[in-house]
Structure 1
């Protein structure tokens, strides 16, 4: 049986406005090391990450301790963000409270979840991990 674990990135440094370059804070780095410590004995066959710095930094300690290279995939990038939002923490809280909320130029969480689920299922189908009957439900 194939098991896929999704790991949310650690705390990002929201002072950096470029979504792809935004690194982890010191707290986020501690979170990434805690992930590695807690998951070191899981027999992962691969580690995938978005090319966003915070995503790569989150899984790097885990990839290092289990001896895997990180496979970057643009399809794992997060939702479309509008121009920089002054109250970024408030914006994020609102998006997680109301999954249909999006500012002009951005995407909401609900659309992102549907998109990501479909992408994951398509990938699993291509890998032979999911039968066609399941795909018809998407």
Structure 2
């Protein structure tokens, strides 16, 4: 039996410049209930989340459902694009995807963010072998992790993500065997 990681990109949030405490919006809370309904069918063993409130709030329903505390994992937080707000987000995000080693001042390159995300993903695979694990996270770091295992998960894939979104990654040890999308808007 393999290990299944259910990566959950957080639901829609209310924009604030403070990343850590940005909460879900009304729509986000509604969608988080749908995420919980989907994940209830997956026989989840544990729930891990980024420390960012919007990620935590998106997966807290499934944690309550299975009667487990959410384990906060710092390295599943979103990649830091820049230490200051960027003038043109679309240009900035495209730029870092075009050159994996490039970073804006105070930000993480794709290479560094990917290393961080993959390191913690491999730790989860080792620690929770043969289990079903939910990981509440963010779009960019999620796709960078997926990209490490299969290069087809790239910038264009990232642009097509929903908020929230759910991807089930099935592993045999540390080898990615299958990816299935579980989210779809009605």
Q: Quick check: TM above 0.5?
A: yes
CA distance in 1, matches of 2:94, 2:60: 26
Task: Give the TM-score, by structure 2 length.
Answer: 0.58
Q: Which has the larger radius of gyration?
A: 1
CA distance in 1, matches of 2:128, 2:67: 22
Which runs of no fewer than 5 residues in structure 1 stay unpaired?
Answer: none
1:27 corresponds in structure 2 to: 27
Q: Distance between the aligned counterparts of 2:83 and 2:96, measured in 1?
A: 20
SS at match of 1:6: strand
Looking at structure 1, the residues matched to 94 and 11 of structure 2 have their Cα atoms a distance apart, in angstroms, of 16
| RMSD between aligned residues | 2.8
CA drift at 1:9: 0.9
Structure 1 residues 91 and 79: alpha-carbon distance in aligned structure 2, compared to 1, 3 A threshold: same
Point out the more displaced range, 58-67 or 118-127: 118-127
State the TM-score, normalizing by the size of structure 1.
Answer: 0.75
Inter-CA distance 67–48: structure 2 relative to 1 (3 Å threshold): same
* Alpha-carbon offset, residue 68 of structure 1: 2.1
Q: 1:96 to 1:54 in 2, by over 3 A?
A: farther
Deviates more, 1:113-122 or 1:34-43: 113-122
Partner of 1:66: 66
| Structure 2 residues not aligned, in runs of 5+ | 131-171, 176-186
The equivalences for 1:7-26 within 5 A come to 7-14=8-15, 16-26=16-26
Confirm whether residue 116 of structure 1 aligns to residue 114 of structure 2: no
Secondary structure of the 2:30 match is helix
1: CA distance between counterparts of 2:92 and 2:69? 35
